[in-house]
DNA sequence: TGCGTCACG
DNA sequence: GACGTACGTGACGCAC
């Protein structure tokens, strides 16, 4: 077919694909020889998705994938510093380049590259030719340098965000139509590509100027007319540099391409050569997926998938030989005899992967439906115990399904195994199963947990859910639970799943867990996180399971009364607000509120966010209230009450367990990258305390009859850890002497005595101390203290001058992260920082996170150690640990034992770092007690 | 489902 | 007057 009207050309920005793939994936190597292939794998997946998603009549008629040939191009002759800021190519990426070309050809996509030209120029040229021939063009890329090409039948498509980029989107980004984009880029320059532009002019200002003067040449000729002196001078002084910049950013759409559009016609991939390539790369999952789509048999491949390697330098990947997944091999156990054979097998092996199926994600409400076991990869069984026939009546009641062992009988047989010290029970998220078994009188131990192994090795790189781990590390996508239960209103519970289907799903989970364990176990050591896993992760399972099952007593009546009071107050405020607005509207809608404030009432200074809605955050409303506007002040009051009511007084009532009368949160051990816990369903780590009204909610968290609540919290733990790791003599001294640390900081910085310090000065020093922990920036501190940015920067400079060790610590930490891709806490916990070497705004986030992680993480490690020791230390005391709130532990204890508990728990907490780490600052714990949490805190 | 908002350390 | 920033979480209501 000759290219012309009705044709549609897809141009893929291949080089961008490679870099995205490289950075998005952990470093993978080919199993047989260790060749790095992560980027190739990602590239192939993206290319295949692109092809597969664009089949049919709306798809392309012609397609090509375009690459950069080498770093040298004609632009280097225009400006010798062009792209001089580019970081060195990572060592393990370069060898993957030729393979991506090979991959492109294997998928039967034209592979284009030209010496001396960037991919962007080739794309520009082909796009122009296609447009002139009357066809349409889609450029698969989100690169802003290509946006100048949009319009007249050419658009872009951001494959990551699945979003087309047309004229409107370009205008949104650059503030001008696509044909003026190069003018804006020439003025604004680009630090990544080292395009100079005009100093002090960014995209916003550039767009303003271009829109005012029409185009760049006119602007430069009439630069004298610009009102702002700085801008005027910048343009006059740099006119030549700006013209050079324009030549740099202008794509050459007349490159001497040697291909005709007709040659780019879409072709079906040749199955045989494509299969050969994918098999040679050892991409198991993709090979299978492509084979299915092409309806051919996948070639026989080595079974093990690419093996992940951590960033640690001295480790080698561990290879595991495993059979393919086969759901047909899973056994359904319906009688004691068959179960007995499995138990024999487990005893022979000494370990078993276990998984439970239940009716709910809430372990306190869930009913046990079945148990699956696996001891050999590829072989697993499922024991259905609580399945029901699908034909229940309207109320959901129905008879048990046939062919199941009695629950008690099965548990009686399994209990000795599950409790046997000599048999390791392996699970994924074992805290869940631990609680389910505990509710049936089985104390499962000892355990290993693949989720926690992944967390110890890969925290910060990805999540640790089983499906994701299986896909990533076993190259296998498990059966989705959705396919059994459905979603939304018609969703069923697991006990309604037909046993035949349940076997495949449930046994597969045990199979996967066992395989993950085999893959992870030896790598813990290589990643040097064995101690972290053994001392900070695994022991948490039992401790937290106990706390969660105990729960905390909540007085629902108090909450209900508060809800009613809030509702009344809110109704009054709502009436006042609508009166002030002069129209009824939904006070809870930020969108409607913004329109009332900044349009109907005509208040000036409304800022629109990226979604086009006005910002109405508390800071904005506070400013307006300070200017004397009543309505925003009322809205702030209303919002406080609305938050308290919906999130706390209303929602908490629904979390009171029908049998225990207590609230049972669930802690995720592997949720936060830094090692902190996270509390969900409900979140009991964010119960209000800062506002007076909010704090009253804590009055509803009460001790049982004859009991008291005791709260112990670490004082300034993060600053103490900072003083230790950054080794700051003045701070360490102050902590040893028990001096007010914020006052000390202020004193050192501003040369004022600690005695009789102005509270405002102390407040500023406190903000700086917090800022340091967060990876301080002038902007952030300025916003927090509501002072000019220059002043904030002045504070920071003085702080670093006074405490140079802090600056050193920050620089060293960031350098370590850049070198290794992770940081470590004092206790060895690894937190990966994959974005640390990124360019653009990501880099700032990653930098600050890297500075914060070792401090926040070490504090998290300390309290974990305390929690793990607590059961043994408090054995015999009539006390239970109920909650953890990052630096606080809450206990419920019999009245007579309060003092003893405080003494014991304080000793454990203050000494929690020992003996692993000898802190050279003391840890101090404050304690309180009362009938409810408000009093105890 | 994504976003804005706001509760906590 | 370049860009966009304090770190880490979870839950709610709105609007699509």
A586-CA/C14-C1' distance, Å: 10
Looking at per-residue confidence, does A9 or A309 come out higher?
Answer: A9
A809-CA/B2-C1' distance, Å: 38
- Most confident region among A85-99, A824-838, A900-914 by mean pLDDT: A900-914
A308-CA/B9-C1' distance, Å: 34
Ordered by start, the domain boundaries in chain A are: 8-170+252-264, 327-530, 555-655, 674-728+803-937, 741-796
Question: How far apart are alpha carbons A70 and A273 in whole angstroms?
Answer: 27
Confidence of residue A320 (pLDDT cuts 50, 70, 90): very low
Q: Is the pLDDT assigned to residue A87 strictly greater than 70?
A: no
Q: Which residue, counting CA atoms, is nearest to the C1' of nucleotide C13?
A: A588
Per-residue model confidence (pLDDT) at position A172: 83
Determine the nucleotide nearest to A677 by Cα–C1' distance.
C9
Tell me which H or E stretch contains A13. Answer: strand A8-13
Domain A8-170+252-264 belongs in CATH node 3.60.15.10: no
Question: How far apart are alpha carbons A276 and A545 in whole angstroms?
Answer: 50
Per-residue model confidence (pLDDT) at position A398: 81
> CB–CB of A402/A385 below 8 Å?
no
A454-CA/C16-C1' distance, Å: 36
3-state SS class at A929: strand
Looking at per-residue confidence, does A354 or A623 come out higher?
Answer: A354
Per-residue model confidence (pLDDT) at position A300: 64
Question: How far apart are alpha carbons A888 and A344 in whole angstroms?
Answer: 46
Per-residue model confidence (pLDDT) at position A837: 86
Question: How far apart are alpha carbons A800 and A323 in whole angstroms?
Answer: 58
Q: Is the pLDDT assigned to residue A843 strictly greater than 90?
A: no
A476-CA/C7-C1' distance, Å: 35
Handedness of CA A512, A518, A521, A523 (dihedral sign): negative
CA distances from A235 to A64, A195, A548 (A): 40, 15, 65
Question: How far apart are alpha carbons A368 and A360 in whole angstroms?
Answer: 9
The predicted model gives A758-769 an average pLDDT of 93
Question: How far apart are alpha carbons A178 and A139 in whole angstroms?
Answer: 14
Looking at per-residue confidence, does A888 or A391 come out higher?
Answer: A888
The DSSP 8-state label assigned to residue A337 in this structure reads H
Lowest-pLDDT choice from A78-87, A736-745, A891-900? A78-87
The percent of residues above 90 in pLDDT, for chain A, comes to: 64
pLDDT, tens digit (0-9, with 9 covering 90-100), for A273-298: 999 999 888 888 888 888 888 888 87
DSSP structure string for A873-901: HTTTSSEEEEEE-SSEEEEEEEGGGHHHH
A538-CA/B5-C1' distance, Å: 36
Q: Which residue, counting CA atoms, is nearest to the C1' of nucleotide C4?
A: A841
Question: How far apart are alpha carbons A189 and A200 in whole angstroms?
Answer: 10
A654-CA/B8-C1' distance, Å: 20
Q: Which residue, counting CA atoms, is nearest to the C1' of nucleotide C12?
A: A647
Per-residue model confidence (pLDDT) at position A162: 72
Determine the nucleotide nearest to A680 by Cα–C1' distance.
C10
For domain A674-728+803-937, give its CATH number from 3.40.190.10, 3.40.50.300, 3.30.70.370, 3.90.76.10: 3.30.70.370
Rg (CA), chain A: 32
pLDDT, tens digit (0-9, with 9 covering 90-100), for A445-498: 999 999 999 999 999 999 999 999 999 899 899 999 988 988 777 788 999 999
- Global pTM value: 0.70
Q: Which residue, counting CA atoms, is nearest to the C1' of nucleotide C11?
A: A647
Q: Is the pLDDT assigned to residue A595 strictly greater than 60?
A: yes
Determine the nucleotide nearest to A683 by Cα–C1' distance.
C10
**Helices H / strands E in chain A, number of each:** 38, 24
pLDDT, tens digit (0-9, with 9 covering 90-100), for A182-223: 999 999 888 777 788 888 888 888 888 898 888 999 999 888
Q: Is the pLDDT assigned to residue A27 strictly greater than 80?
A: no
> Which residue, A481, A845, A536, is CA-closest to A675?
A536
Per-residue model confidence (pLDDT) at position A306: 44
DSSP structure string for A539-599: HHHHHHHHHHHH-EEB-HHHHHHHHHHHHHHHHHHHHHHHHHHTS---TT-HHHHHHIIII
Confidence of residue A135 (pLDDT cuts 50, 70, 90): very high
Per-residue model confidence (pLDDT) at position A201: 84
Which of the nucleotides in strand B have any atom less than 7 Å away from a protein CB atom?
3-9
Q: Describe the strand order of the beta sheet including A707-714 as a list of residue ranges.
A: A879-884, A888-894, A707-714, A925-930
The predicted model gives A870-888 an average pLDDT of 96
Determine the nucleotide nearest to A674 by Cα–C1' distance.
C8
> CB–CB of A140/A154 below 8 Å?
no
Which of the nucleotides in strand C have any atom less than 7 Å away from a protein CB atom?
1-15
Question: Which residues fall inside 7 Å of strand B, measured at CB?
Answer: A 590, 594, 609-611, 613, 615-618, 620-621, 636, 639-640, 643-644, 647, 685-691, 694, 856, 885-888
> Which residue, A647, A650, A645, A641, is CA-closest to A576?
A641
Per CATH, the homologous superfamily of domain A555-655 is: Taq DNA Polymerase; Chain T, domain 4 (1.20.1060.10)
A745-CA/C4-C1' distance, Å: 28
Lowest-pLDDT choice from A88-102, A701-715, A786-800? A88-102
3-state SS class at A712: strand
A749-CA/C4-C1' distance, Å: 28
The percent of residues above 70 in pLDDT, for chain A, comes to: 96
Confidence of residue A1 (pLDDT cuts 50, 70, 90): low
Mean residue pLDDT of chain A comes to: 90
Domain A327-530 belongs in CATH node 3.30.420.10: yes
pLDDT, tens digit (0-9, with 9 covering 90-100), for A406-439: 999 999 999 999 999 989 999 999 999 999 999 9
Question: How far apart are alpha carbons A536 and A859 in whole angstroms?
Answer: 12
pLDDT, tens digit (0-9, with 9 covering 90-100), for A90-103: 778 888 888 999 99
Q: Describe the strand order of the beta sheet including A163-165 as a list of residue ranges.
A: A110-112, A62-66, A8-13, A136-140, A154-158, A163-165
Per-residue model confidence (pLDDT) at position A317: 41
CB atoms within 10 A of CB A700: 25
Question: How far apart are alpha carbons A453 and A473 in whole angstroms?
Answer: 13
Question: How far apart are alpha carbons A2 and A4 in whole angstroms?
Answer: 6
Q: Is the pLDDT assigned to residue A573 strictly greater than 50?
A: yes
A512-CA/B8-C1' distance, Å: 37
Adjacent-strand bridge partners of A156: A139, A165
> Which residue, A131, A2, A159, is CA-closest to A65?
A159
The predicted model gives A547-564 an average pLDDT of 95
Q: Is the pLDDT assigned to residue A394 strictly greater than 80?
A: no
Per-residue model confidence (pLDDT) at position A391: 64
Lowest-pLDDT choice from A125-129, A359-363, A703-707, A902-906? A359-363
């Amino acid at each position: 077919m000759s290219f012309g009207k009705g044709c549609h050309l897809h141009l893929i920005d291949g080089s961008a694909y490679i870099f995205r793939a490289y950075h998005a994936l952990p470093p993978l190597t080919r199993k047989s020889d260790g060749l790095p292939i992560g980027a190739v794998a990602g590239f192939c997946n993206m290319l295949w998705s692109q092809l597969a998603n664009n089949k049919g009549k709306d798809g392309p008629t012609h397609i090509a994938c375009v690459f950069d040939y080498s770093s040298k191009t004609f632009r280097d002759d225009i400006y010798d510093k062009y792209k001089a800021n580019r970081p060195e190519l990572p060592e393990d990426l370069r060898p993957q380049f030729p393979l991506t070309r090979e991959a492109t050809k294997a998928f039967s996509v034209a592979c284009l590259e030209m010496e001396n030209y960037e991919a962007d120029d080739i794309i520009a040229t082909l796009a122009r030719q296609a447009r002139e021939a009357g066809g349409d063009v889609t450029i698969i890329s989100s690169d802003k340098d290509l946006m100048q090409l949009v319009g007249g039948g050419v658009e872009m498509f951001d494959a990551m965000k699945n979003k087309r980029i047309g004229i409107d989107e370009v205008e949104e980004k650059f503030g001008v139509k696509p044909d003026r984009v190069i003018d804006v880029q020439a003025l604004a320059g680009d630090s990544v590509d080292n395009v100079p532009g005009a100093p002090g002019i960014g995209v916003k200002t550039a767009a303003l100027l271009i829109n005012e003067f029409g185009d760049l040449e006119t602007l430069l000729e009439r630069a004298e007319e610009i009102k702002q002196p700085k801008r005027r001078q910048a343009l006059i002084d740099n006119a030549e540099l700006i013209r050079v910049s324009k030549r740099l950013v202008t794509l050459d759409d007349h490159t001497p391409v040697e291909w005709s559009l007709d040659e780019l016609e879409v072709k079906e991939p040749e199955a045989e050569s494509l299969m050969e390539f994918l098999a040679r790369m050892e991409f198991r999952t993709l090979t299978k997926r492509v084979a299915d789509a092409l309806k051919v048999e996948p070639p026989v491949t080595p079974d093990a998938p690419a093996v992940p390697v951590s960033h640690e330098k001295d480790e080698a990947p561990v290879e595991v030989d495993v059979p393919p997944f086969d759901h047909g091999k899973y056994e359904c156990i319906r009688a004691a005899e068959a179960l007995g054979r499995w138990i024999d097998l487990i005893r022979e092996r000494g370990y078993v992967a276990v998984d439970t199926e239940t009716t709910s994600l809430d372990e306190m409400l869930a009913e046990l439906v079945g148990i699956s076991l696996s001891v050999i990869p590829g072989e697993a069984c499922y024991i259905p115990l609580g399945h029901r026939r699908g034909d229940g009546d309207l109320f959901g009641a129905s008879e048990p399904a046939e062919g199941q062992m009695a629950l008690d009988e099965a548990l009686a047989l399994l209990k000795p195994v599950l409790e046997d010290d000599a048999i390791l029970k392996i699970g994924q998220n074992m805290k869940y199963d631990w609680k389910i078994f505990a509710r049936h009188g089985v104390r499962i131990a000892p355990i290993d947990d693949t989720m926690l192994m992944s967390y110890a090795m890969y925290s910060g790189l990805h999540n640790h859910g089983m499906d994701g781990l299986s896909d990533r590390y076993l190259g296998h996508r498990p059966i989705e639970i959705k396919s059994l239960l459905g979603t939304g209103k018609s969703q069923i519970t697991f006990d309604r799943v037909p046993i035949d289907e349940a076997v495949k799903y449930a046994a597969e989970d045990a199979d996967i867990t066992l395989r993950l364990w085999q893959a992870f176990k030896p790598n813990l050591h290589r990643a040097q996180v064995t101690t972290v896993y053994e001392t900070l992760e695994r022991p948490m399972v039992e401790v937290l399971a106990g706390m969660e099952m105990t729960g905390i007593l909540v007085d629902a009546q108090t909450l209900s009364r508060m809800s009613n009071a809030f509702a009344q107050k809110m109704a009054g405020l709502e009436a006042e607000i609508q009166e002030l607005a002069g129209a009824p509207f939904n006070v809870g809608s930020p969108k409607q509120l913004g329109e009332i404030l900044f349009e109907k009432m005509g208040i000036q200074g409304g800022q629109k966010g990226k979604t086009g809605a006005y910002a109405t955050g508390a800071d904005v409303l506070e400013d307006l209230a300070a200017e004397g506007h009543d309505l925003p002040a009322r809205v702030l009051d209303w919002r406080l009450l609305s938050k308290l009511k919906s999130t706390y007084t209303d929602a908490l009532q629904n979390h009171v367990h029908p049998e225990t009368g207590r609230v049972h949160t669930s802690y995720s051990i592997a949720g936060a990258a830094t090692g902190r816990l996270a509390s969900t369903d409900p979140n009991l780590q964010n119960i209000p305390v800062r506002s007076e009204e909010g704090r009253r909610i804590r009055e509803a968290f009460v001790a049982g009859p004859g009991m008291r609540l005791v709260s112990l919290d670490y004082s300034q733990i993060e600053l103490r850890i900072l003083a230790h790791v950054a080794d700051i003599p003045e701070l360490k001294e102050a902590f040893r002497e028990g001096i007010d640390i914020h006052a000390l900081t202020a004193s050192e910085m501003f040369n004022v005595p600690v005695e009789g310090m102005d509270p405002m000065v102390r407040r500023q020093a406190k903000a700086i101390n917090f800022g340091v922990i967060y990876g301080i920036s002038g902007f952030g501190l300025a916003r927090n203290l509501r002072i000019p940015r220059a002043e904030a920067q002045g504070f920071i400079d003085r702080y670093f001058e006074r405490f140079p060790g802090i600056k050193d610590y920050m620089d060293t930490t960031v350098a370590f992260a850049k070198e290794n891709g992770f940081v470590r806490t004092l206790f060895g916990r690894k937190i990966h920082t994959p974005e640390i070497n990124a360019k653009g705004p990501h880099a700032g986030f990653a930098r600050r996170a890297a500075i914060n992680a070792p401090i926040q993480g070490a504090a998290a490690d300390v309290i974990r150690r305390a929690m793990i020791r607590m059961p043994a230390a408090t054995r015999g005391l009539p006390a239970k640990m109920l909650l953890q709130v990052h630096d606080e532990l809450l206990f419920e204890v019999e009245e007579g034992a309060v003092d003893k508990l405080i003494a014991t728990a304080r000793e454990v907490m203050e000494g929690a770092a020992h003996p692993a780490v000898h802190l050279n600052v003391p840890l101090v714990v404050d304690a309180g007690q009362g009938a409810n949490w408000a009093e105890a805190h």
